[in-house]
Every structure is written in C-alpha cells, then in structure tokens.
Amino acid sequence: MGAMRYLTETHLQGFERYKYNSIDTSFLSVYVMHPFWNICVQYIPKWLAPNILTFVGFLMTVVNFILISYYDWDFKAANNKELGNTVPNWVWTVAAINIIIYYNLDGMDGKQARRTGTSGPLGELFDHGLDSYSAALIPIYIFSLFGTVDLPPIHMFFVIWNVFLNFYLTHFEKYNTGVMFLPWGYDFTMWGVCLMLFVATILGPGLYRYSFHGITVANVFEVGLVASGVLTSHPFIIRNIYLSYKNKTGKMRSIWEMLRPLFAPLWLFAITIVWSYCSRNSVINLEPRVLWILYGTIFSNIACRLIVAQMSDTRCDAFNILMWPLAATVGVCCFPWYQEFFDTDLTADGERWILYGLTIFVTLAHWHYGYGVVSEMCEHFNINCFKVRKSCCIADEQFQHSLQNNNKPKTLKSH
C-alpha cells in the first residue's frame, strides 16, 4: 500500500479488543433461515474461507446489475404497455436465483467462520462493507420492472435513499449501543425481491404496470418500502439507543458525538438532492443508472468508515472526503450564471461526461479504500482474507456442539 494507510494504530488496537454482539428477533430468521443455514453450512468444505462465500454472494448482485443494465440501461424497457417489457423473461429468473444465492451465502458466511475458527473483525467488516454496496445495487433491479413512466427517476432517487437509510441506521445504532440489532425487514425484503423477480417470469413483467384508479404497483412499492422502515426498524432503533443511555449499557457518548455519524449521509443527501433537482441538463433523467452507482459508491464509503469506527470504537467521520469532488461537480453543473460567467452553456453531453468521469474516480477511490483496509487488517492479524490457515477441527466440534445444545443462532449471521 506504500505510504498511504487508512487505519491508524488506534483502529488496529480497537479491532483487537472487538467482540461481535448481535440480537436477531425476526421469527423468519430465527426459526426458518438459521436452522436451514445450519444444515447447509455442514456441506461446505472446511478449507473454504468464509470471505469467499461473502464475496461470491456479492458478485451475484454485480452480475444482476450488469445483466439487467445490458437490456435496460435507461429504465425505459417497461414504458410501452402495448409492446410489453423488452427485458427477456429469463433475465428475471436468473436475477432471482442470484439474489437467493447472495442472501443464503450472506447467512452462512458467519457460520462457516465459526465452524472453521476464523471468526474475527475482518470477516464482519468484509461482510457488512460489501452489503453496503449491495444496498445500492439491489433496488436498481426493481426499477426495470416499473419503467420511468410509473417510477420517474426522482422517485427512484428517494427509493434508493430509503434503502440507504434503513441500512445505515442499523450501524448507527450499533455505533452507540455496541450491539447489532438485526432488522426484521432484511429477511422479508430479500424474499420479497426474489418473489417479485420470479413473478415477472411466471406472470410477465407487465403485471407491474397495472394501475387501479390511478394507483400503480410502483406507488404501492414506494409506500410499502417506506412503511417497512417506519414500522419495523426506525422506532426500535430510537428505542434501543434511548435504553442504552437510560440503562448505561451503551457507549454513553455526548449528544453531538452520538449524532456525529449522521452528519456525513446528511451532507451527501443535501448535495445529491441539489444535483437531482437543479442540474442544468436534468442529469437525473439523462443518466439515472450512472447517478445511482455514483451515489451508492459514496454511500458505501461512508458506511464502511462508520463500520470501521464502530468496530474499533473510534470517532466516526462527520464528512467524507469523496464528497469534495462531488460538491465541486454539483457546483459546476448547477451554477445558475454558468452561461454568463463562462460565455457558453454546459451541454448535456458535457454534463454526462463529467458524471462518467466522477463516477470512475469515486469508484476507484472506494475500491482502493476497501483494498487498503482489508490489506492492513490482514497484515496486522497475520491472516489471509481468502484462506483458512488454522486447523478447523476444534472449531467445527464446538460448532456442532452448539447446534446440539440448541444455542440461539442470533450471533452467527455475521463473522
């Protein structure tokens, strides 16, 4: 990595002290999925590193993004009701299967880590870091079912931000309580996405363009997504943080330090909403897919830095460095006196290429950050990210013993 290092000695010492602590109360997860994963993981070779399961699952979401992008880059494949959705039906089946693979590998990686005696902070960071990227990719698949007529890009913007919020608040909660309260909505959302994609194959994607008295399926989707967070997540997060202060079981930070992790995503939301509404060439309608990748990549970087802070018990960043080039770009693309100042107006192609360049830069910077953090942790703990180096016999015996004693699986989801 040369002279550039992302983790300080304080971070690394914090990782050494870190112990994973989670609570999972979802009946779907506890009584259905965990028993299923406990069975499946026993068929995975002991030499297979849990981080490989995590990474393969993440790659399934990337494959979906590339596949659907090929057939519907601008989200207009579903716009013509008479012609029907031009994305081939088999694509939805492949996408659904890939989501199932991602979801189940995400559930089994922690169990494989415990089974092979490789549990540690690297696995959890690797898992949740990649999940933060998937949080941007997965909702984008659904947009191609509705098209830009029923779900305009500005609506897509708020849908994506709702997903970001649901993901981020869980880690904000852990930053302040020290406990990962796994949200109910995650398991139901994964199965819901799979079901929507399978239905598109069986009954045809045209079903999602149906409307009743002006209320479209896209409207129901938006309201349902917001309601799921409001009803099953946000109030419980507030309550858990409040109880951690009341019972003195959390980190007991001051009010501003407690709220500090929210500053960076709030800045990102403010900057992105300005570009979405004030772009000189309505870039949100020109290149929505690239815009979502840009926003999702910066969000993932913010989330990863929060995860590093809460796991190492260090102070979270209040502003993300990748927002500086974003803010500068938005300033140029939304400058109200652009033509008078520069004696020429910013063309649509010009703004499009600026967006492309910024997205490439931000993506490479985020990848470098992820690679750097993982490399530094591997160096510090003298481990290999994708290899099981220690004997796994004792760990596997302990894992089998825990299953026989009906231990609750609530701490096995991440590693």
d(CA 383, CA 69): 37
What is the rounded average pLDDT of the residues 394-402? 53
What is the rounded average pLDDT of the residues 125-132? 95
- Whether residue 406 has pLDDT greater than 70: no
Q: What is the DSSP string of 210-235?
A: -EETTEEHHHHHHHHHHHHHHHHTHH
What is the rounded average pLDDT of the residues 370-376? 97
User: Tokens standing for 38?
Assistant: 């406990």
13-72 residue pLDDT tens: 999 999 999 898 889 999 999 999 999 999 999 999 999 999 999 999 999 999 999 999
pLDDT band at 400 (very low <50, low <70, confident <90, very high): low
Residue 372 contacts by C-beta under 8 Å, 6 or more apart in sequence?
A: 1, 4, 5, 6
pLDDT for res 2: 52
Residue pair 261/172 in contact (Cβ under 8 Å)? The answer is yes
Phi/psi-derived region of residue 127, left when phi > 0, alpha when psi is between -120 and 50, beta in every other case: alpha
User: Tokens standing for 410?
Assistant: 């609530």
Instruction: Give me the residue spans of the domains in the chain.
Output: 9-411
What is the rounded average pLDDT of the residues 181-191? 88
Half-sphere exposure (Cβ direction) of 20: Cα atoms closer than 13 Å: 23
What is the rounded average pLDDT of the residues 299-311? 97
SS3 180: strand
Residue 386 contacts by C-beta under 8 Å, 6 or more apart in sequence?
A: 49, 51, 52, 55
Rounded to the nearest 5 percent, the helix, strand and coil shares of the chain are 75, 0, 25
d(CA 315, CA 310): 8
d(CA 105, CA 107): 5
41-54 residue pLDDT tens: 999 999 999 999 99
pLDDT band at 398 (very low <50, low <70, confident <90, very high): low
Neighbours of 294 (CB within 10 A): 25
pLDDT for res 233: 86
SS3 22: strand
Kind plus residue range of the DSSP H or E element containing 211? strand 211-212
Give bridge partners of residue 23 from the DSSP assignment: 181
pLDDT for res 391: 53
Mean pLDDT of the chain: 91
pLDDT for res 343: 79
pTM of the model: 0.92
pLDDT band at 390 (very low <50, low <70, confident <90, very high): low
d(CA 276, CA 286): 11
Give bridge partners of residue 215 from the DSSP assignment: 212
- Whether residue 199 has pLDDT greater than 60: yes
155-165 residue pLDDT tens: 999 999 999 99
Residue whose C-alpha is closest to residue 300's, from 354, 238, 353, 362: 362
SS3 181: strand
pLDDT for res 409: 43
Q: C-alpha angle with apex 388: 410 to 301, nearest 5 degrees?
A: 65
- Whether residue 295 has pLDDT greater than 80: yes
The single residue listed with the structure tokens 């060439």 is 281
